[in-house]
């Protein structure tokens, strides 16, 4: 408190101190004069005897101060004043850093939302996900396959590591009743699901232990959002009956709005998961559809649980020989499971934006070095007045921190906008809108941004601070501010900075190039369909009256007929899976006459159940044989079409038409052999995939499903046809929900929207980084050459030719460029092997990626050349006499 | 700068002790204080006069001395420092501590005896 008291009387204290010291000196001088000295000599003698007046006064003042804090505040005030006095430098530094910080915050907000923000469940560290692992180890996700109902039941009983084990399965539900019929995404869960997760309902209850048995399962828990939307947040919703898929379900609970398990979007409702008897037979061991979670018993580690799961899987394999050969099981923590889903793509993004930030830091560091030359006198004066070196370093770091703070604030504003863009990009894909919601600027992001800014300040501030404060007092003050005698150390630092900048820019360019190349490759490849003038719509039959296969077939036949009868329609059809729109459906198959294999050993193909006119509607060409006809109905002999890739892989030197295959679709254990009647063109089933995969088509009346996508080829704008499509479907059944009405071109655009967003982001970031790097390299080079104007003048005055001088300067720049490119290539080397998570595992081979590396090197090389050539040319144009007089 | 520091502080607290001792005899202002210390030490101690002031401020802050404005013999407006009760006590304590320390050092340094 004394300190506080002194703070207010400080002005008086300091005044008295100054006066006292003045009087002291005066008295000394008077005495010396009295003893016969001249007044001038006496003044000098007195000063010598007294010592450094400023220091004495400063030290005396320090006694009254709370030094660390007050010095800091002083530094802040002084720093702010210096920054205000140099608005150009300040603005450039702040904006540069803000851009660097903003891109980092934007990407981090996604990482934060998807990977860091844990599930809102009780003690998530103790919850593990039980997965099965594919022995073929093909593709991403082989080590996290779902679990079959059969295995789940067995393992839940046998395992000893877990308190309890719960299963869940995503599903679609049609909600009918008041208002428009609606398709909802929900999860069917075992009755202990919420107990395992340790969450309870916000309203009502979660499921009771026997509610996952057939007959008792007509209960539903609503998400907070659905409750608010459909029931106006009315608590009386509990106990009401809603119609799901045509059956009455009693609402028993509402989850809280904060409940969240993973980033993959939020389910809108939960119903009990009932295992039909056939699903728990050994023959169904390979129908892996369940996501299984379990809570570890106290004292059991994830590793122990994993080991136990492996043992259990081996035991199952031995008990049920011939099923799931080689498949194993594993356990991983739920956090790990979630974080990995966004793995590689996000890591690449983080890498790219960090490089951008580094470039921004290097730029500011070089700017500060340049400015340091100007400020030499300021520091020399301060040292002369008794300031210690550390004090000056601290002062400069405080200035850097001020810049960083301002940049952090501005960066956050920019990031706010960036996150908005990011979200809007994601939301254009319906499936992703739920993911997009998780990308927000929360306190984590704010803290991250500020820490990152502070870190950047130290990064770009420390080296210049040490260089600038290494003041050669004598020469700096004596030479009257001429800074030709600049320290070698600063030159060295400048060279290092330029080299670093070139290297970073190269890495960025290569990363962006590789990525853009992958995407261009996929766009150019085409999709194998004619997507213009096609409208699509998703139909999921849900009414109780349409459960039987024959009713389903009848519905779609009628709908297609009504569509064909609508004016403006050229062709109409339906498919069980829309290429590029839905996730591809992959089934195993056998070929007649070849050795029988167990299901896991069989080859795989994309599978489509289609209506006769589907191929014509999408413009998929028939190569050989015949199309599927309307006569290929349920009672007729089963037939199939295959694509060229199928033929290439399975019948390389044989005629495929006439052979019979058996497709293990629709969960039937022993489906019939189908005769191949035609070969059709290849269709790309997803945007990411590069290669064509085998595809097989069967007439849907022979393999009916409840969910189909209608496709309509129209003579005019397909988008405008949407109301007619709805009317046609509703004329068959007015309660039938219709979802995802979009043109085929929209479907394609969305299929690459994820990549497009990533593409735009990485492109923007890389472009930003490149511009920053170019400005930085050019600035430093230009400055270095300008510093040599004097020297160049002398050389030219002594007879050096312009070409020689030019060559000399450019050579120096090119050496830096070469070193930078070398280190950049070393840094970028891992990009050769980079696998983008989104791109499955199919990347362009390296010999196609080489040109990207070459092009990037060339661009950087050119930039380095220009950055030294242009200033050098300018310098040599100067009249030697002017250059010599320059300083 | 390091040289300066060597001269200023013989050991931490020495200057303060000498100031207190001098002020115990009679109140003095800064300049007179400096002259007195110099004179009595026979210029053996090279004390920069400027270093007196931070020490005086420390003593003031700890209320071991107090100061009031007065007029010196040469008719200057000066601040005269006076020992407080606490200061006298502190001095006593410090001196005895110093003497003990000195004795110890002397014994170790004394030749021949052990």
Question: Do A389 and A300 sit in the same domain of this protein?
Answer: no
B36 touching A, CB under 8 A?
Answer: no
Do residue A2 and residue B61 have CB atoms under 8 angstroms apart?
yes
Q: Which pLDDT does position A434 carry in this prediction? A: 58
Paired with A169 in beta bridges are: A188
Of B50, B76, B78, nearest to A56 by CB-CB distance is B50
**Closest chain A residue by Cα to residue B58:** A63
Rounded mean pLDDT, A626-634? 87
Give the pLDDT band (50/70/90) at residue B3: very low
Residues in A closer than 8 angstroms to B56, CB to CB, are 60
Give the pLDDT band (50/70/90) at residue A575: very high
Q: Output the 3-class SS for A450-485.
A: HHHHHHHHHHHHHHHHHHHHCCCHHHHHHCCCCCCC
Question: Count of CB atoms within 10 A of residue A290's CB?
Answer: 25
**pTM assigned to the model:** 0.64
Residues in B closer than 8 angstroms to A10, CB to CB, are none
Of B34, B53, B76, nearest to A60 by CB-CB distance is B53
**Is pLDDT of A1 > 70?**
no
Of B51, B57, B69, nearest to A63 by CB-CB distance is B57
Rounded mean pLDDT, A171-183? 71
What secondary structure letter does DSSP report for A145? B
Residues of A with CB under 8 A from a CB of B: 2, 6, 16-17, 19-21, 23-24, 26-28, 30, 49-53, 55-57, 59-64, 386, 388
Question: Do A516 and A563 sit in the same domain of this protein?
Answer: no
**Is pLDDT of A152 > 50?**
yes
**Is pLDDT of A286 > 60?**
yes
**Closest chain A residue by Cα to residue B56:** A60
| Annotated domain spans of chain B | 2-109
**Is pLDDT of A482 > 50?**
no
Task: Considering only residues A883 and A710, tell me which one the structure prediction assigns the higher pLDDT.
Answer: A710
In this structure, what are the phi and psi dihedrals at residue A631, rounded to the nearest 5 degrees? Answer: -75, -10
Of A6, A50, A62, nearest to B50 by CB-CB distance is A50
pLDDT in tens, A6-59: 666 777 778 888 888 888 888 888 888 888 888 888 888 888 888 888 888 888
Least Cα distance to A452 among A405, A392, A394 occurs for A405
Do residue A20 and residue B48 have CB atoms under 8 angstroms apart?
no
How far does A4 lie from chain B, in Å, by closest CA? 13
Do residue A51 and residue B49 have CB atoms under 8 angstroms apart?
yes
Do residue A63 and residue B54 have CB atoms under 8 angstroms apart?
yes
How far does A34 lie from chain B, in Å, by closest CA? 12
Task: Considering only residues A142 and A771, tell me which one the structure prediction assigns the higher pLDDT.
Answer: A771
Question: Do A29 and A97 sit in the same domain of this protein?
Answer: no
Rounded mean pLDDT, B4-20? 68
From residue A225, give the alpha-carbon distance in Å to each of A221, A252, A254, A783.
12, 16, 9, 60
Of the ranges A271-285, A535-549, A564-578, B24-38, the best mean pLDDT one: A564-578
**Is pLDDT of A165 > 90?**
yes
Do residue A63 and residue B49 have CB atoms under 8 angstroms apart?
no
**Is pLDDT of A845 > 60?**
no
**Is pLDDT of A697 > 90?**
yes
Question: Do A560 and A433 sit in the same domain of this protein?
Answer: no
Q: Which pLDDT does position A839 carry in this prediction? A: 40
Interface test with chain A among B50, B51, B56, B66, by most A beta carbons within 10 Å = B50
B26 touching A, CB under 8 A?
Answer: no
Least Cα distance to A134 among A324, A340, A342 occurs for A324
Do residue B50 and residue A55 have CB atoms under 8 angstroms apart?
yes
- Three-point CA angle A622, A623, A627, nearest 5°: 35
Question: Do A60 and A91 sit in the same domain of this protein?
Answer: no
With respect to residue A141, please indicate whether it lies within any of the assigned structural domains. no
Q: Which pLDDT does position A560 carry in this prediction? A: 92
Of A23, A30, A51, nearest to B78 by CB-CB distance is A23
Of B48, B57, B72, nearest to A60 by CB-CB distance is B57
Rounded mean pLDDT, A663-677? 74
CA–CA separation, B57 vs B54, rounded Å?
Answer: 5
Question: Do A651 and A670 sit in the same domain of this protein?
Answer: yes
User: For chain A, what is the domain count?
Assistant: 5
**Which residue segment(s) compose the domain that A388 sits in?**
66-120+343-485
- Helix A343-384 to helix A488-525 angle, to the nearest 10 degrees? 160
Question: Do A567 and A583 sit in the same domain of this protein?
Answer: yes
Do residue A20 and residue B53 have CB atoms under 8 angstroms apart?
yes
Do residue A16 and residue B30 have CB atoms under 8 angstroms apart?
no
Of the ranges A280-284, A333-337, A484-488, A504-508, the best mean pLDDT one: A504-508
Rounded mean pLDDT, A629-650? 88
Least Cα distance to A288 among A385, A160, A136, A169 occurs for A169
Q: Which pLDDT does position A713 carry in this prediction? A: 93
Q: Which pLDDT does position A689 carry in this prediction? A: 65
Q: Which pLDDT does position A753 carry in this prediction? A: 60
**Closest chain A residue by Cα to residue B52:** A56
- Helices (H), strands (E): how many in chain A? 28, 22
Question: Do A216 and A91 sit in the same domain of this protein?
Answer: no
With respect to residue A458, please indicate whether it lies within any of the assigned structural domains. yes
How far does A29 lie from chain B, in Å, by closest CA? 11
Burial class (CB in 10 A: 0-12, 13-18, 19+), A283: middle
| The last residue of a domain, from among A736, A770, A791 | A736
Lowest mean pLDDT among A231-235, A779-783, B87-91: A779-783
Q: What is the DSSP string of A803-862?
A: HHHHHHHHHHHHHHHHHHHHHHHHHHTHHHH---GGGTT----HHHHHHHHHHHHHHHHH
Mean pLDDT of chain A: 81
Q: What is the dihedral of CA A598, A602, A604, A607, to 10 degrees?
A: -50
Do residue A27 and residue B72 have CB atoms under 8 angstroms apart?
yes
Task: Considering only residues A344 and A750, tell me which one the structure prediction assigns the higher pLDDT.
Answer: A750
A745 token code pair: 């071109």
Q: What percent of chain A has pLDDT over 90?
A: 14
Give the pLDDT band (50/70/90) at residue B1: very low
> From the CA atom positions of chain A, what is the Rg in Å?
37
| The last residue of a domain, from among A690, A708, A736 | A736
Question: Do A372 and A399 sit in the same domain of this protein?
Answer: yes
pLDDT in tens, A341-372: 555 567 777 888 888 888 888 888 888 887 77
Q: Which pLDDT does position A406 carry in this prediction? A: 93
Question: Do A210 and A303 sit in the same domain of this protein?
Answer: yes
Give the pLDDT band (50/70/90) at residue A322: low
**Is pLDDT of A178 > 70?**
no
Least Cα distance to B18 among B72, B79, B102, B87 occurs for B87
Do residue B49 and residue A50 have CB atoms under 8 angstroms apart?
yes
Residues in A closer than 8 angstroms to B58, CB to CB, are 63
**Is pLDDT of A716 > 80?**
yes
How many inter-chain contacts (A to B, CB under 8 Å) are there?
70
With respect to residue A337, please indicate whether it lies within any of the assigned structural domains. no
Of the ranges A403-412, A509-518, A876-885, the best mean pLDDT one: A403-412
Question: Do A575 and A473 sit in the same domain of this protein?
Answer: no
Do residue B50 and residue A16 have CB atoms under 8 angstroms apart?
no
Do residue A20 and residue B30 have CB atoms under 8 angstroms apart?
yes
* Global ipTM: 0.80
Do residue B61 and residue A6 have CB atoms under 8 angstroms apart?
yes
Q: Which pLDDT does position A433 carry in this prediction? A: 57
Find out if CATH 2.70.70.10 is the number for domain B2-109: no
**Is pLDDT of B110 > 50?**
yes
How far does B28 lie from chain A, in Å, by closest CA? 12
**Closest chain B residue by Cα to residue A6:** B61
Q: Which pLDDT does position A292 carry in this prediction? A: 92
Least Cα distance to A253 among A216, A296, A223, A286 occurs for A223
Q: Which pLDDT does position B8 carry in this prediction? A: 44
Lowest mean pLDDT among A205-214, A461-470, B24-33: A461-470
Task: Considering only residues A260 and A478, tell me which one the structure prediction assigns the higher pLDDT.
Answer: A260
Do residue B51 and residue A56 have CB atoms under 8 angstroms apart?
yes
Residues in B closer than 8 angstroms to A61, CB to CB, are 57
Lowest mean pLDDT among A129-133, A475-479, A480-484, A493-497: A480-484
Do residue A50 and residue B48 have CB atoms under 8 angstroms apart?
yes
**Is pLDDT of A885 > 80?**
no
């Amino acid at each position: 408190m004394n300190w506080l008291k002194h703070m207010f009387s400080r002005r008086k204290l300091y005044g008295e101190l100054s006066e006292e010291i003045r009087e002291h000196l005066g008295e000394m001088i008077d005495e010396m004069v009295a003893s016969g000295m001249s007044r001038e000599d006496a003044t000098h003698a007195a000063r010598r005897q007294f010592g450094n007046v400023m220091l004495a006064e400063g030290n005396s003042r320090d006694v009254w101060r709370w030094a660390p804090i007050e010095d800091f505040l002083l530094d802040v005030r002084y720093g702010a004043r210096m920054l205000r006095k140099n608005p150009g430098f300040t603005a450039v530094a702040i904006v540069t850093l803000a851009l660097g910080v903003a891109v980092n915050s934007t990407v981090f907000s996604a990482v934060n939302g998807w990977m860091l923000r844990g599930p809102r469940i009780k003690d998530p560290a103790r919850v593990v996900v039980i997965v099965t692992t594919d022995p073929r180890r093909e593709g991403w996700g082989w080590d996290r396959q779902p679990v079959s109902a059969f295995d789940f039941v067995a393992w839940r009983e046998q395992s000893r590591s877990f308190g309890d084990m719960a299963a869940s399965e995503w599903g679609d539900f049609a909600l009918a009743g008041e208002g428009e019929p609606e398709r909802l995404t929900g999860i069917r869960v075992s009755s202990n699901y919420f107990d395992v997760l340790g969450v309870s309902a916000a309203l009502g209850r979660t499921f009771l232990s026997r509610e996952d048995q057939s007959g008792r399962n007509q209960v539903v828990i609503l998400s907070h959002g659905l409750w608010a939307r459909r029931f106006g947040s009315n608590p009386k919703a509990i106990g009401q009956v809603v119609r799901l898929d045509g059956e009455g379900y009693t609402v028993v609970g509402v989850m809280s709005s904060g409940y969240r398990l993973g980033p993959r979007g939020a389910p809108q409702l939960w119903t009990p998961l009932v295992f039909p008897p056939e699903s728990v037979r050994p023959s169904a061991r390979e129908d892996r559809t369940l996501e299984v979670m379990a809570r570890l018993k106290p004292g059991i580690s994830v590793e122990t649980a994993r080991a136990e799961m492996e043992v259990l899987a081996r035991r199952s394999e031995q008990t049920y020989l011939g099923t799931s050969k080689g498949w194993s099981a594993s356990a991983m923590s739920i956090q790990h499971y979630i974080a990995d889903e966004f793995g590689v793509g996000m890591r690449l993004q983080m890498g790219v934006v960090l490089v951008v930030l580094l470039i921004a830091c290097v730029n500011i560091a070089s700017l500060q070095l340049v400015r340091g030359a100007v400020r030499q006198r300021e520091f020399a004066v301060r040292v002369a007045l008794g300031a210690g070196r550390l004090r000056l370093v601290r002062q400069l770091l405080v200035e850097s921190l001020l810049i960083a703070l301002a940049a952090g604030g501005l960066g956050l504003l920019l990031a706010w906008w960036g996150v908005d863009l990011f979200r809007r990009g994601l939301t254009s894909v319906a499936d992703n809108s739920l993911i997009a919601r998780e990308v927000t600027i929360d306190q984590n992001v704010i803290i991250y941004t500020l820490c990152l800014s502070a870190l950047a300040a130290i990064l770009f501030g420390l080296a210049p601070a040490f260089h600038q404060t290494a003041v050669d007092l004598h020469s700096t003050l004596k030479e009257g501010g001429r800074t030709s005698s600049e320290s070698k150390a600063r030159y060295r630092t400048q060279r290092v900075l330029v080299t670093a900048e070139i290297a970073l820019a190269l890495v960025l360019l290569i990363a962006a190039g590789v990525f853009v190349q992958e995407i261009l490759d996929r766009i150019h490849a085409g999709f194998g369909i004619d997507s213009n003038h096609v409208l699509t719509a998703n139909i999921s039959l849900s009414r109780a009256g349409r459960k039987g296969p024959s009713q389903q077939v009848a519905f779609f036949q009628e709908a297609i007929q009504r569509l064909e009868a609508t004016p403006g329609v050229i062709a109409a059809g339906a498919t069980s899976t829309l290429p590029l729109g839905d996730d591809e459906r992959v089934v195993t198959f056998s070929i007649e006459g070849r050795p029988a294999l167990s299901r896991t050993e069989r080859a795989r193909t994309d599978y489509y159940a289609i209506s006769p006119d589907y191929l014509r509607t999408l413009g998929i060409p028939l190569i050989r044989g015949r199309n599927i006809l309307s006569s290929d109905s349920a009672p007729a002999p089963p037939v199939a079409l295959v694509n060229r890739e199928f033929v290439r892989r399975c019948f390389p030197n044989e005629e495929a038409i006439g052979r019979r295959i058996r497709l293990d679709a629709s969960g039937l254990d022993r489906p019939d052999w189908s005769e191949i009647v035609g070969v059709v063109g290849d269709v790309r089933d997803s945007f990411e995939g590069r290669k064509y995969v085998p595809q097989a088509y069967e007439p849907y009346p022979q393999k009916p499903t409840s969910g189909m996508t209608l496709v309509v080829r129209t003579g005019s704008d397909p988008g405008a046809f949407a109301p007619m499509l709805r009317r046609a479907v509703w004329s068959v059944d007015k309660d039938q929900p219709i979802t995802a009405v979009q043109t085929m071109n929209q479907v394609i655009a969305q299929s690459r929207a994820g990549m497009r967003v990533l593409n735009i982001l990485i492109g923007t970031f890389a472009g930003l980084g490149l511009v920053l790097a170019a400005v930085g390299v050019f600035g430093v080079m230009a400055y270095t050459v300008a510093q040599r104007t004097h020297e160049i003048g002398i050389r030219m005055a002594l007879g050096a030719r312009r070409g020689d001088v030019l060559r000399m300067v450019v050579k120096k720049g090119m050496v830096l460029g070469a070193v930078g490119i070398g280190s950049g290539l070393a840094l970028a080397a891992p990009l050769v092997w980079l696998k983008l998570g989104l791109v499955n595992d199919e990347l362009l081979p390296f010999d196609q990626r080489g040109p990207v590396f070459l092009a990037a090197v060339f661009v950087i090389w050119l930039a380095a050349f220009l950055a030294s050539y242009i200033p050098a040319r300018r310098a040599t144009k100067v009249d030697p006499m002017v250059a010599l007089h320059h300083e | 700068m390091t040289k300066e520091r060597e001269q200023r502080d013989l050991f931490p607290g020495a200057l303060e002790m000498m100031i207190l001792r001098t002020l115990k005899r009679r109140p003095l202002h800064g300049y007179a204080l400096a002259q007195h210390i110099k004179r009595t030490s026979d210029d053996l101690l090279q004390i920069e006069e400027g270093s007196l002031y931070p020490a005086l401020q420390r003593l003031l802050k700890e209320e071991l001395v107090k100061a009031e404005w007065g007029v010196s013999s040469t008719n200057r407006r000066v601040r005269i420092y006076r020992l407080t009760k606490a200061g006298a006590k502190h001095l006593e304590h410090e001196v005895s501590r110093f003497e003990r320390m000195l004795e110890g050092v002397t014994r170790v340094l004394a030749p021949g005896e052990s």
